[in-house]
Amino acid sequence: MLSNNPPLSLATTVLTGDTIEAVRHSPSFHARAWQILDRWALNSPAELCRMELTGEIILLERLLIQQDLEHQTLCSEEGLNHQRHGLTEHEILALHGISGRL
């Protein structure tokens, strides 16, 4: 569902332009972070907005942690094995107790 939209298209409807630009231009964030932000914007827009209001740094730190956690899990040998057996990213993360929600 999210793959048909350009990166950060959902997040731009919830977050300020400054936050979106910070994510786009930071070398710390990559496509995984963009997917996470769009997912959070879709699933928890009010919560995402509240987090941004508490401080952009808090939101960006939480995003960086989630990005690293998902990346490590999906790129691990076990994660890659699950993908070869047809599990989706969402299913693999759930198997490892990683919530896709904010």
Residue 62 placed within a domain: yes
pLDDT for position 3: 57
Range of the domain at 23: 2-95
Residues 6+ apart with CB under 8 A from 16: 52
**pLDDT beyond 50 at 1:** no
Q: What is the pLDDT of residue 66?
A: 97
pTM: 0.90
Number of domains in the chain: 1
Instruction: Specify the 3-state DSSP secondary structure of 73.
Output: helix
Q: Which amino acid is at 25?
A: H
Give a yes or no: residue 18 inside a domain: yes
pLDDT for 79 beyond 50: yes
Identify whether 7 is part of a domain. Answer: yes
